[in-house]
Amino acid sequence: MNDPFEKLYYRPLVAIVREAEHGKTVRTVLERQLGVSRKLLSQVKLTEHGLTVNEVRAYTTAPVAAGDMIRVRMLREISEDILPQPIPIQIVFEDEDLLIVNKPAGMIVHPTHGHYTGTLANGVVFHWQERGEQVRFRPVHRLDEETSGLVAIAKTSYVHQQLSEQMQANGFLKLYRAYVYGSPAPVQGTVDEPIDRDPERPHIRIVTPTGYPSVTHYETLASYNETSNRPASAVRLKLETGRTHQIRVHMKHIGCPLIGDKMYGSEQGSVEEWELEAGRQALHAEILGFTHPITKQWMEWQADLPPELARLEQKLTT
């Protein structure tokens, strides 16, 4: 059954009051059943149909009875500050609530000062416009410009809130593949070192005792050129925290900087042919998984290696 207000609002969130919740307030029921934030409630209660009990406008402090139906409706929004552009985007998954895309290297996720076009956001907003969808661009997490792979984008403020909380509670599965110089020792382990800005070069991050807690788990998948003066490895990484440049900083810290990383990479003078193959830092967000905020089902996606990293691996293997 279609919602009569679907042109103005996104699909409503629905909570049926349980026996144990009889006499509780609207806010209490929504917080317990759906984890709706007070910020979202303060927004929806301002619109006529944003917060209703049995389709009658209600206040968050109103008491409810067992069997009552509470609906939360969020106004449809668009990203007015993002210019739609017909940029090809690789969609891995999409439904009413979220979008998963495989971002190529060389693309920024969101427009920044002096870089307003050519971003993932421009392409996604155009995609929604073409489909006739009125949606605001809300990335749940981001990747560096030169990192490829999976990015999750929420279609509503509620889904964004729920996924952000999952990520903060370490409920996200985010696995990266990297190609690095050297061989990590031990071959599998954890880098638990705080990270912060370099006081002398604020755009650079460094490991420092006064930094923010940062944890990266790694596992060596393969080793290459072990007998040469230029060994390399393929490494799978799992983030427990999400600091800026975390993987790149932590791998450099253990003596295995990413191949092709111009900011944190190897400082050796000579360059082998295979080092030029990727043309950028050899880092790919390969696997992404989390619990869908609406269906409550675990979902997981995998993005194949992009051609440039597949070529790098082939060069290293032969």
pLDDT digits (tens, 9 = 90+) for 37-86: 999 999 999 999 999 999 999 999 999 999 999 999 999 999 989 999 99
Do residues 131 and 102 make contact, with C-beta atoms less than 8 angstroms apart?
Answer: no
Same domain, 259 and 150: no
Verify that 225 and 303 share a domain, yes or no.
yes
What pLDDT is stored for residue 266 in this prediction?
Answer: 65
Q: 306 and 238: one domain?
A: yes
217 lies in some domain: yes
Dump pLDDT digits (tens) for 293-309. 999 999 999 999 999 99
Please determine, for residue 316, whether its predicted confidence score (pLDDT) is greater than 70. Answer: yes
80 part of a folded domain: no
Are 27 and 52 within one domain? yes
Dihedral of alpha carbons 297, 161, 29, 11, sign: negative
Q: Could you tell me if residue 168 is inside a domain?
A: no
Please identify which of the residues 144, 196, 198, 261 carries the catalytic annotation. Answer: 144
202 plus 299 within the same structural domain? yes
Q: Number of folded domains in the chain?
A: 3
For residues 244 and 269, membership in a common domain is answered with yes
81 included as an active-site residue: no
Q: What pLDDT is recorded for position 27? A: 97
Domain assignment present for 82: no
Question: Is 84 inside a domain boundary?
Answer: no
Final residue of a structural domain among 131, 163, 195 = 163
Shared domain for 261 and 197, answered yes or no, is yes
Task: Give the separation between CA 151 and CA 143, rounded to whole angstroms.
Answer: 7
Among 22, 37, 72, identify where a domain stops: 72
Residue 179 lies in a domain: yes
Task: Mark whether 275 and 226 lie in a shared domain.
Answer: yes
- Indicate whether 293 and 200 sit together in one domain: yes
Nearest-angstrom CA–CA distance, 185 and 164: 33
Contact between 194 and 234 (Cβ < 8 Å): no
The domain that contains 58 carries what CATH number?
A: 3.10.290.10
Residues 308, 177 share a domain: yes
- Cβ-Cβ contacts under 8 Å for 211 (sequence gap 6 or more): 193, 194, 195, 196
Domain end position, chosen among 163, 189, 218:
163
Which structural domain range is residue 152 located in?
Answer: 90-163
144 and 253 assigned to the same domain: no
Query: Do the domain assignments include residue 52?
Result: yes
Kindly calculate the radius of gyration of the chain based on its CA atoms and give it in whole angstroms.
23
pTM: 0.91
pLDDT one-digit tens code per residue, 204-247: 999 999 999 999 999 999 999 876 778 899 999 999 888 999 99
Residues 138 and 195 in one domain: no
| CATH number of residue 108's parent domain | 3.30.2350.10
Helix (H, G, I), strand (E, B) or coil at 221: strand
Q: What percent of the chain has pLDDT over 90?
A: 85
